[in-house]
């Protein structure tokens, strides 16, 4: 284990990220009138938020900080590409991408992690994506925080995996092996014309909650929770909203090899927006 990894894990003991996350979540959800507006204005200035993209650009119109954080965008400001196999699910920064090899994905240069651990320990779930593709998008606090569908697909099931809430910034990605398999995450499986697509929403420090359009805020549990949702018969179109984060985090997309490969230009560190071509 590297020194930086050891230091990060040690910090969980003396600086409990879960406790801090709970506290920040309560503050972000509190209705504090003028003080909430002040917090939002400070956030806008600090992170250079483009209000012209917002469906409602008035900071005072948001009752809580979270309402602003998961703000909607104006219609049409994120065109959804049609000349590709799948589109980017979120605004953010590209992390590692590629094809799954021998059950292994790349977290960062020199750091790998296991597919089976990522999806919750089920070998059948992992087998769906063996030799398939993956792409990682990191959302910083400055990004738009709603997550959208890469392509038209029907909801099958979800797996909520409890875990730590380590920060997922670049320093930690390159310093802690298996970071994405240590943190809390929600794995959402979809059927797309007989093949399976997965969107994995990874929690992190100060992420107040993960939410979906079908069940709202995900209830955090101490055990792995599997939910069969086929009876909902919920089909979401390409570019349709499927969930959100209440603070920065990471989305990992998994797809079968038959779908194609991630665009070569989308190297780690590339800025991406929801709706642009991802898989070709």
Q: Is 145 a catalytic residue?
A: no
**CB-based contacts of 146: which residues, under 8 Å, 6+ apart?**
70, 72, 73, 90, 241, 243, 244, 274
132 close to 256: Cβ distance less than 8 angstroms: yes
Whole-number Å distance between alpha carbons of 53 and 26: 27
Domain boundaries, the chain: 3-69, 86-279
| pLDDT for 174 | 47
- pLDDT of amino acid 173: 46
Are the C-beta atoms of residues 84 and 278 closer than 8 Å to each other? yes
Series of mean pLDDT values for 10-residue runs along the chain (280 residues): 39 49 68 95 95 97 94 97 97 96 81 92 96 95 95 98 69 57 92 95 76 93 94 97 88 96 96 98
Q: What is the pLDDT of residue 181?
A: 82
Q: Active-site residue 122, yes or no?
A: no
pTM above 0.85, yes or no: yes
Kindly name the residue from 145, 148, 160, 244 that is annotated as catalytic: 148
pLDDT at residue 128, as a whole number? 96
83 noted as active-site residue: no
Whether 179 contacts 107, CB under 8 Å: yes
């Amino acid at each position: 284990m590297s020194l930086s990894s050891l230091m990060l894990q040690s910090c969980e003991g003396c600086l409990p990220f879960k406790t801090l996350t709970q506290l920040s979540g309560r503050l972000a959800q509190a209705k504090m009138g003028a003080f909430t507006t002040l917090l939002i204005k400070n956030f806008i200035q600090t992170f250079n938020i483009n209000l012209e993209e917002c469906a409602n650009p008035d900071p005072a119109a948001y009752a809580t900080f979270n309402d602003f954080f998961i703000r909607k965008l104006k219609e049409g400001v994120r065109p959804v590409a049609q000349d590709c196999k799948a589109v980017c699910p979120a605004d953010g920064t590209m992390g590692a991408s590629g094809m799954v090899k021998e059950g292994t994905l790349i977290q960062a240069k020199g750091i790998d992690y296991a597919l089976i651990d990522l999806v919750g320990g089920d070998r059948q779930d992992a087998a769906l994506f063996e030799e398939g593709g993956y792409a990682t998008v990191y959302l910083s606090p400055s990004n738009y925080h709603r997550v959208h569908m890469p392509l038209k697909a029907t909801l099958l099931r979800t797996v909520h995996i409890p875990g730590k809430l380590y920060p997922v910034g670049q320093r930690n990605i390159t310093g802690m092996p298996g970071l994405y398999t240590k943190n809390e995450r929600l794995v959402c499986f979809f059927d797309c014309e007989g093949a399976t697509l997965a969107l994995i929403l990874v929690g992190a420090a100060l992420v107040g909650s993960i939410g979906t359009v079908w069940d709202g805020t995900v209830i955090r549990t101490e055990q792995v929770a599997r939910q069969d949702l086929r009876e909902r018969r919920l089909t979401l179109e390409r570019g349709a909203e499927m969930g959100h984060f209440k603070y920065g985090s990471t989305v990992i997309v998994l797809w079968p090899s038959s779908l194609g490969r991630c665009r070569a230009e989308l190297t780690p560190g590339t800025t991406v927006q929801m709706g642009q071509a991802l898989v070709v």
